[in-house]
Amino acid sequence: MKVFFFGWPSYYGGADTKAVHLLKLLSGHVDITVIPNSPGQLQESCWTQRLDEWGVNYATLESLPDRLDGVALAMCNSPFLSSGIYSTARRRGLRIVWSSEMMWHHPFEVDLIKAGAIDRLLYVSEIQKKALNYESFCDVPTRITGNFLSVDEFPFVERPRDLPLTIGRLSRADPLKYPEDFPVFYEALALPDVRFRVMAWSEELAQKYRWHRFDHRWELLAPEAEPAVEFLQSLDLFVYTLGHRFTESWGRSTVEAMLTGAIPLVPAGHHFASLIVHGESGYLCSDFLEFQSYARQLAEDPLARQGMSRACRRRAELLNDPETHRAVWLEALNV
């Protein structure tokens, strides 16, 4: 099987991060060529070195033979649709597999699907399937492929028992992802001597919360100010409240956090119940008072906290069995 992946890996943003792990997962099992939107990305040695390690090819579409055989896979790559890249790929013989990754349709997505431009559609979760509901307007075959994380990329770190808690979050700097009351919610948990760490912060977020006086407890880091893994390893609790108009289609950063040993406290709903066993590997909270109660229990019982931290790692490892994920992907890409 030949897969032409349209996009480029990155450590920022769910879909591009997903690409890193997916390429690693499938390398050696299928022939992969990564085709970036911008030729300049082929000069990013940090990524080309990794692709070389995995035996993954990379090239511009123009540099490839006129006639291609295989599958074109694009994940959350809007220009793939809007700039007509899909059309070129199709004309050159590729079957098109598209994964939105979002809870909404990208520009042109619906029209192109209706026009027969896409051969297979991928969902990441049931909740995303419910939102996008391709079946309601087309008969293009769909698959749920989920999300794979290479567990080696997020080593577990035992948290010290004798230090004050650090709570925080990592997500794309999208104001929609942050609840209206974000900083006051964290502070209202009223944990003793707590520190707050947030990555990736932006000017837009600073503007949204300009009413708040962020004091010495807060550390607001720019995107990629630290490697994601080091940032997550610095957190005891991953408290991930979300904006009221935002639904998390999967929850990649939550599982990354769990792999490092950070305990997730997340709102009920979304896809989180599939990721977290409530009370064993984190908490699904339906109310502020639940967030507060669980956070305080964890703050007051370092031994229990360490136990749950290890359980988070085990749970996240279970969710990321490479054989299982590879089989799902190979079937999905067999168009």
Partner 1 sequence: MSEPSMCYWSVADGSYAQMMTTCIMSARRVGVATDFHVWTDHSIPGAVCHPSGSYEHRNYLFKFDFLLKAAELPYEYLVFLDADNFFVRHPGRLLDQTRDAPIHVCLESDCTQPNNVRPDWWGCPLSRYVQLMRDCGVLSRSVFNTNAGFWIVHRDVARRFVDLAMEFWEYCNCQGFPFTEEAPLAYVGHMLLGNPYAHTLAMNREIWASDWTGVFADRLPDGSSWNFTDYMSGDNIPVQSAIVHCMRSKKAMVAAASPIRKWPTY
Beta strands in the chain (DSSP E): 2-6, 31-35, 57-58, 70-75, 94-99, 120-123, 142-144, 166-170, 195-199, 218-221, 237-239, 263-267, 283-285
Q: Phi and psi at residue 297, in whole multiples of 5°? A: -60, -45
In this complex, which beta carbon is closest to partner 1, that of residue 58 or of residue 291? 291
Strand arrangement, sheet containing 237-239: 218-221, 195-199, 166-170, 237-239, 263-267, 283-285
CB of 235 to partner 1, least distance (A): 20
In this complex, which beta carbon is closest to partner 1, that of residue 148 or of residue 294? 294
In this complex, which beta carbon is closest to partner 1, that of residue 287 or of residue 321? 287
CB of 23 to partner 1, least distance (A): 36
CB of 243 to partner 1, least distance (A): 8
Alpha-carbon separation of residue 19 from 22, 51, 258, 297 (angstroms):
5, 11, 19, 37
User: What are the residues binding partner 1 (CB under 8 A)?
Assistant: 179-181, 184-185, 187-188, 208, 210-213, 215, 244-245, 267-268, 286-289, 292
Q: Phi and psi at residue 262, in whole multiples of 5°? A: -75, 140
Torsion sign (Cα): 243, 107, 80, 132 = positive
Identity of residue 282 = G
CB of 180 to partner 1, least distance (A): 5
Cis peptide before 206 (omega within 30 of 0): no
CB of 13 to partner 1, least distance (A): 24
Strand partners, 237: 167, 263
CB of 298 to partner 1, least distance (A): 18
In this complex, which beta carbon is closest to partner 1, that of residue 175 or of residue 322? 175
In this complex, which beta carbon is closest to partner 1, that of residue 130 or of residue 310? 130
CB of 276 to partner 1, least distance (A): 17
Chain center to CA of 66:
34
CB of 198 to partner 1, least distance (A): 16
Cα separation, 64 vs 82, in Å, equals: 22
Please, are residues 251 and 282 in contact by the beta-carbon 8 Å criterion? no
In this complex, which beta carbon is closest to partner 1, that of residue 173 or of residue 312? 173
Cα separation, 143 vs 93, in Å, equals: 22
In this complex, which beta carbon is closest to partner 1, that of residue 31 or of residue 181? 181
In this complex, which beta carbon is closest to partner 1, that of residue 40 or of residue 192? 192
